[in-house]
Amino acid sequence: MSPIRLIVMHSMEWAEKGTTAEDCARMFATMARPASAHVCVDNDSVVRCVADRDTAWAAPGANADGLQMELAGFARQKREDWLDSYSRDLLKQAAAVAAGWAKLYKIPIRKLSQAELRAGRRGFTSHMDVSAVYKRSDHGDPGTGFPWDVFLAMVKDVLSGEDDGDDEIVAPKWTRPLSTPPTTKGTDVRIWQRQMRKRGWNITVDGWYGPADEEICKKFQREKGLPATGVVDAKTWAAAWTEPIT
């Protein structure tokens, strides 16, 4: 894969349900023709399909240098459809992922014009614009009604709210390993990230445990004499609160 410069947004053209991300990811994994995305998103889950470092077959012309995100819904949706209760929850999930990508790969939080996309600028784009610029597909998703202003504002909010000021003195209860792949997400990931940030690590607090988090975890584990697995197990979790800051 080439150096990443784009985050490419798609709509799955599937009905809005709580299992749509899982269903789409399952389709990618089992279909005969090459098609995939890096993540699939619905209103309550994010499913990792392809590692960031690998190319997803989603938007010809922007596959090699783009991270591909599939959203539950349809390109025909109007702005108000993308802003109903289901889709607002979906956009929040997608914004958390996009914020992590933007931070990690230094992608500006802005929607590229077709001219900027053609000129090789960095930013966010749609499959519709990729089709128009490179003319290697005819897809028009996520459609003209997609609320770019709302979505990009959500991405900025995630990044601006990285450190919410909570001060946990006692380690919260460890509930599950945090690892990638498969990438995990949720409140416990955010708690871990926030604590590591307090310890001085340059980590994005977005609730998404990705490759950058894994590398920081390995460095922390080596520093504390723990096996450098990159998995936040019970001992690693506890060390984040109990071990001295060096």
**Helix (H), strand (E) at residue 47:** strand 46-48
With a CB cutoff of 8 Å and minimum separation 6, the contacts of 19 are 42
Same domain, 50 and 147: yes
The answer to whether the beta carbons of residues 11 and 140 sit under 8 Å apart is: no
pLDDT 10s digits, 150-198 = 999 989 888 876 544 444 556 787 888 898 766 577 778 888 988 888 8
Same domain, 216 and 145: no
Same domain, 198 and 123: no
- Domain of 57: which CATH number? 3.40.80.10
How crowded is residue 114: how many other Cβ atoms within 10 Å of its Cβ?
A: 14
Whether 116 is covered by a domain: the verdict is yes
Same domain, 15 and 77: yes
- pLDDT for 124 equals 98
Same domain, 88 and 122: yes
**Could you tell me which of 12, 114, 113 has the C-alpha nearest to residue 68?**
12
- pLDDT for 242 equals 84
| Range of the structural domain that residue 209 is part of | 184-242
Predicted TM-score of the model (pTM): 0.69
Same domain, 52 and 89: yes
Same domain, 119 and 221: no
- pLDDT for 65 equals 97
- Domain of 197: which CATH number? 1.10.101.10
Name the domain count of the chain.
Answer: 2
Whether 168 is covered by a domain: the verdict is no
Same domain, 84 and 12: yes
Same domain, 149 and 27: yes
Whether 179 is covered by a domain: the verdict is no
Whether 98 is covered by a domain: the verdict is yes
Whether 1 is covered by a domain: the verdict is no
Which of 102, 127, 160 is a domain's end point? 160
Whether 33 is covered by a domain: the verdict is yes
Whether 171 is covered by a domain: the verdict is no
- pLDDT for 165 equals 47
The answer to whether the beta carbons of residues 6 and 124 sit under 8 Å apart is: yes
Q: What is the mean pLDDT of each run of 10 residues along the chain (246 residues)?
A: 93 94 94 91 90 93 97 97 93 90 93 98 98 96 96 87 53 82 74 86 83 92 94 93 75
Same domain, 117 and 227: no
Helix (H, G, I), strand (E, B) or coil at 28: helix
Same domain, 19 and 137: yes
In whole angstroms, give the CA distance from residue 130 to residue 51: 21
Residue 133's Cβ-side half-sphere holds a number of Cα atoms within 13 Å equal to 20
Same domain, 117 and 47: yes
- pLDDT for 206 equals 79
In whole angstroms, give the CA distance from residue 213 to residue 203: 7
Whether 166 is covered by a domain: the verdict is no
